[in-house]
Amino acid sequence: MAGEIYRDAWGIPHLRATSAHELARAQGRVTAHDRAWQLEVERHRAQGTSASFLGPDALSWDVLVCRARLDDTARHCFAALERRDPETADWVWAYVDGVNEGLAEGARRAPEFAKSGLAPGRWEPWNPLGVWLGTHILFAGFPAKLWRESAIRHLGPEAVGLFATDGPGTSGSNGWLVGGERTVTGRALLAGDPHRFIEEPGVYQQIRLACPEFDVVGLAVPGVPGIAHFGHTGTVAWAITNAMADYQDLYRERLRRTGAGVEALGPDGTWHRATRHTETVRVVGEPPVEIEVIETERGPVIAGGPEGLEGTTTTDDDPLALALRHPPRVTEELGFSALLPLLRARTVADVDRALDNWVEPVNVVQAADTGGGVLHRVAGRVPVRAEANGTRLVAAWEPGHEWRGWHEMPRAGLTDGIAVMANQRGPSAPLGVEFAPPHRADRIRALLDARRTWSAADLPAIHTDTHLASAGPLLDHVAALDDLTPGAARLRDRLLAWDRHMDADSTGAAAYAAVRSAVVRHLAAHPAFAQLTRPPAYPEVLLPWLALVPRIGFALEHLLRVEELYGIDRPAAVRAAVEEVAAEEPTGTWADTHRLAPWRALHEKPYAEPGLSGDHDCVLCTSSVPGLTDLAARGPAARYVWDLARREDSRWVVPFGADGVPGAPHHRDQLPLWTRGDLVPVGTDWDLLTKETAMPDPYAAREAVHEQLIDGFGAVRILPLDPQADAGVIHAWAVEERAVFWGMNGITREQVAEIYAHMADLATHHAYLVVKDGTPVALLQTYEPEADRVGECYEVRPGDIGVHLLLAPAGPDGALSGWSTALLSACASYVLLGLDRRRVVVDPDVRNDKAVARFLKQGFVPGPVVVLPEVDLPDVYLPEKRAQLAFLTREAAFPSSPAR
């Protein structure tokens, strides 16, 4: 059994195989089937090539990825994994093999490929590591150091604490562990919800992985094998939240050009050679962008260069660049060596040992097992260095900012049988600078303490709690207002009577949010902050961390409580906000404006997204940006309850569904449940699942013009080409360098579709897709020689037919050149026998030695070398070509075939 695929009622894949290796292959294949578009988007984003099909909006990200050398880091990390842990490296290879086996079929299911013109590519073994890096490179929020640097420059050092809400706007995950002494079964419960940007398809994939070694359910990251963050093996379960640790540094670099390249000034006072090369970032519809990639002894330069960074210089006006230093680039490790041991874990001790190998991101982990063991620890790699490194930019040329080893990861226990993690200061406090406010953690503990014992069915109610503790300071200012206009007074009274719950149907919540946003805008407009409104010359992708309005919005609680705020009259700002909102006479509910706003790689809005309950500091953390928008781009990327008494009583949900294909039955079927706060059961009974014996053949329903079973080769079907549906496959073949003689290098997918749509309208030219055992292997084109330029170069006989043949590239089964005899035999059978023709003429380019040799080996007789004139038609241009004509008669190909 190489791998079996089952589905539950929600389309969630349950995979079973004879080994961990085959199981990884099955996981890759089913992920490619369900999430092909998502996989390819993430692969390209990790390589810095996404603008080539997503357009200019993706350019800044691609430039950052290239300058930060993420793809190169992934390659180095995989090479190190092969040296240090060959078993895990082979396991990753198997996953990638599965992705490559399923990608073409998955791409045919996904309409985004046709809309974007992207053809599915080929995954390499380091791509999963690149996806992991790309997903988490901004997770620790190193751009926040740019904000602190700017705030200190313009407002003074006190601004760091003032604007640190005790956390940036990126935190929001919740997790809690209830020990057996506090549950109705006597065994532990784990629950929570990772908070991320909501993407469609979702960033987490519900999946089950079973083989003789283990049987694990959990949330996987599409593109990465195994189950890293949230899993349940039956005897032990684990979950994580962001530890809010600081493990990435930004160094201000002094660079200079020399005749030999680029040098960087080091802390020893001398100049050291930096590596340098150029890369080209391609942008669909625009000229390519050439970038300079520089790396110093600290790390890759992500902004600036020898000529400096506009607006950011030292006191003596030396030009600056910024270098990023982070653990994977330094250690060539990501933590993938923990993935297999996690799947094999049976106890919390096993989970603990596995996580000793974890690197990035740094997480707070909770785990429990059926034996009563519990675990509450930090996992990851945080460097030991000067305190200033964690707060702001540091000078590379000054001593004292080097890394001096690694912090020991802290551990914690349970308090009265409970542990709560919500990005607040806790066990990871020594490792970070900013953490989330304590509101969510305090609220979860208060809710858990409201009763002594809990069951798995009880916990989802905590996920959806909407109490907003951070509303207090603004409401205190509102309460102090007097001499308001009648409308503003009525609004004040409504706000003070509001229960402070951000419920979707609450008009009070809507009114509070409107006033809050107005206050934020009034504060941001004050001249005291004018210098912070000017975006510095940093890469565009980093600018959201430096935007003033979101910074004030997320820090509003502190800004309203602090004794003095740069001379700003805050009561006046609140008064103006209340009067402004009252003039609009708000009557709507919070859900009217607080709607889900998921990120999609293609800028489409095909759905009316639901209104949501919750807010940034609620347990139901659906984050908007006060002062900018009420739309929620961040929220729970999944919810889970792991039951250690009976795994089948565990529950989970994701924002959309198991299938990444728009319009598929399981694409958005979980959205109503996620919106309401409901969870679906984790099914574990194989007898209640639906088995898929094999991936469906996407070509099975298409009528063939010729079918032939060839011994030792397989079943060959020749299908009329569908210009739109097949354009992606043909484009992928035709643009490869090996297909240069086909004449389509550099052509777009849309142009491929247009060419073959034009051909479909001709009575004299036809195109076919040749499929072997459900896999495309060749493009066959036939034409009437007298209607083609080749007819001008030789004496056409009655019964002649012209043929062009483009073979697919080498696949997982080896080079297709070994199949050429059988494949050409099937094509010849169709053309000569099926179409009742007397002779085939081919015209390969004389430089295409392989094609010429292939035809001659098949029995074609060489004819003259001719010059085919160029053809310039509205839909196609064919340049002049020197061709080797060759001919195959029906008698030569099929001597026993009777004449017709």
Name the amino acid, one letter, at 788.
D
Residue 812 has a pLDDT of 33
CB 537 within 8 A of CB 307: no
Report how many helices (DSSP H) and strands (DSSP E) the chain contains, helices first: 27, 36
Judging by beta carbons within 10 Å of its beta carbon (0-12, 13-18, 19+), is residue 781 exposed, middle or buried? Answer: middle
Q: What is the pLDDT of residues 378-428, one digit of tens each?
A: 999 999 999 999 989 999 999 999 999 999 999 999 999 999 999 999 999
**Residues in CB range of 505: below 8 A, 6 or more apart:** 589, 590, 591
- What are the structure tokens assigned to 720, written together? 């009329």
Residue carrying structure tokens 């979950």 = 239
Name the amino acid, one letter, at 167.
G
- The closest of 316, 300, 284 to 117, measured between CA atoms, is 284
- The closest of 87, 97, 118 to 20, measured between CA atoms, is 87
CB 626 within 8 A of CB 637: no
How far is it, in rounded angstroms, from Cα 495 to Cα 478? Answer: 8
How far is it, in rounded angstroms, from Cα 731 to Cα 734? Answer: 5
Q: How many CB atoms lie within 10 A of CB 97?
A: 18
DSSP 8-state code for residue 382: -
Q: What is the pLDDT of residues 140-152, one digit of tens each?
A: 889 999 999 999 9
- The closest of 511, 643, 532 to 581, measured between CA atoms, is 511
Residue 40's beta-bridge partner residues? none
CB 73 within 8 A of CB 133: yes
Residue 170 has a pLDDT of 55
DSSP 8-state code for residue 475: H
Name the amino acid, one letter, at 441.
A
Name the amino acid, one letter, at 422.
A
Q: How many CB atoms lie within 10 A of CB 179?
A: 20
Residue 613 has a pLDDT of 98
- The closest of 592, 612, 584 to 515, measured between CA atoms, is 584
DSSP string for 481-514: --S--HHHHHHHHHHHHS-SB--TT-HHHHHHHH
CB 53 within 8 A of CB 37: no
- The closest of 502, 522, 504, 513 to 572, measured between CA atoms, is 522
Backbone dihedral angles phi then psi of residue 719, each to the nearest 5 degrees: -115, 140
CATH superfamily entry for domain 174-246+331-386+397-438+452-465+636-687: Aminohydrolase, N-terminal nucleophile (Ntn) domain (3.60.20.10)
CA neighbours closer than 13 Å in the CB half-sphere of residue 80: 17
- The closest of 762, 683, 777 to 730, measured between CA atoms, is 777
- The closest of 158, 211, 230 to 3, measured between CA atoms, is 211
- My answer on whether omega of the bond before 201 falls inside 30° of 0, hence cis, is yes
249-278+293-325 belongs to CATH 3.30.70 = no
- What are the structure tokens assigned to 504, written together? 């979707």
3-state secondary structure 400-418: CCCCCCECCCCECCCECCE
Q: How far is C-alpha 496 from the chain's CA centre?
A: 43
Q: Please give the C-alpha separations between residue 347 and each of 169, 242, 430, 532, in angstroms, as whole numbers.
A: 35, 23, 28, 51
Residue carrying structure tokens 């898929």 = 692
CATH of domain 4-136: 1.10.439.10
How far is it, in rounded angstroms, from Cα 229 to Cα 190? Answer: 13
How far is it, in rounded angstroms, from Cα 429 to Cα 389? Answer: 16
Backbone dihedral angles phi then psi of residue 295, each to the nearest 5 degrees: -135, 125
- 754-762 CB contacts, 8 Å cutoff, 24+ apart: 754/723, 754/875, 755/723, 755/875, 755/876, 756/721, 756/723, 756/726, 756/727, 756/730, 757/723, 757/724, 757/875, 758/873, 758/874, 758/875, 758/876, 759/723, 760/721, 760/723, 762/787
Kindly give the residue spans of alpha helices, DSSP state H, lying in 127-283.
127-136, 144-155, 159-163
Residue 119's beta-bridge partner residues? none
Across the chain, mean pLDDT equals 92
3-state secondary structure 691-727: EECCCCCCCCCCCCCEEEEECCCEEEEEEECCCCCCH
CATH class, 149-168+468-500+507-588 region: mainly alpha
How far is it, in rounded angstroms, from Cα 826 to Cα 770? Answer: 9
Maximum alpha-carbon separation in the chain: 106
How far is it, in rounded angstroms, from Cα 506 to Cα 688? Answer: 41
How far is it, in rounded angstroms, from Cα 285 to Cα 750? Answer: 13
DSSP 8-state code for residue 763: S
Residue carrying structure tokens 């209104």 = 611
**Residues in CB range of 188: below 8 A, 6 or more apart:** 177, 178, 179, 180, 368, 369, 372, 374, 644
Q: Describe the chain by its helix, strand, coil percentages, rounded to 5.
A: 35, 25, 40
Residue 779's beta-bridge partner residues? 769, 806
**Three-state DSSP class for 673?**
helix
How far is it, in rounded angstroms, from Cα 713 to Cα 106? Answer: 24
Residue 107's beta-bridge partner residues? none
How far is it, in rounded angstroms, from Cα 239 to Cα 219? Answer: 10
- The closest of 831, 728, 818 to 120, measured between CA atoms, is 728
| CATH architecture for residues 706-893 | 3-Layer(aba) Sandwich (3.40)
Name the amino acid, one letter, at 863.
G
- What are the structure tokens assigned to 388, written together? 């200033």
Would you list the domain boundaries of the chain?
4-136, 149-168+468-500+507-588, 174-246+331-386+397-438+452-465+636-687, 249-278+293-325, 706-893
Q: How many CB atoms lie within 10 A of CB 753?
A: 21
User: Which residues of the chain carry a pLDDT beneath 50?
Assistant: 1, 167-168, 313-317, 811-817, 900
Q: How many CB atoms lie within 10 A of CB 315?
A: 5
Q: How far is C-alpha 756 from the chain's CA centre?
A: 33
Backbone dihedral angles phi then psi of residue 422, each to the nearest 5 degrees: -150, 45
Residue 813 has a pLDDT of 36
Residue 899 has a pLDDT of 52
Q: Which residues are catalytic?
A: 173
Q: What is the pLDDT of residues 316-335, one digit of tens each?
A: 445 689 999 999 999 999 99
Each residue of 466-482: b (16+ CB within 10 Å) or e?
Answer: bbbebbebbbebbeebe
CA neighbours closer than 13 Å in the CB half-sphere of residue 799: 14
How far is it, in rounded angstroms, from Cα 569 to Cα 487? Answer: 22
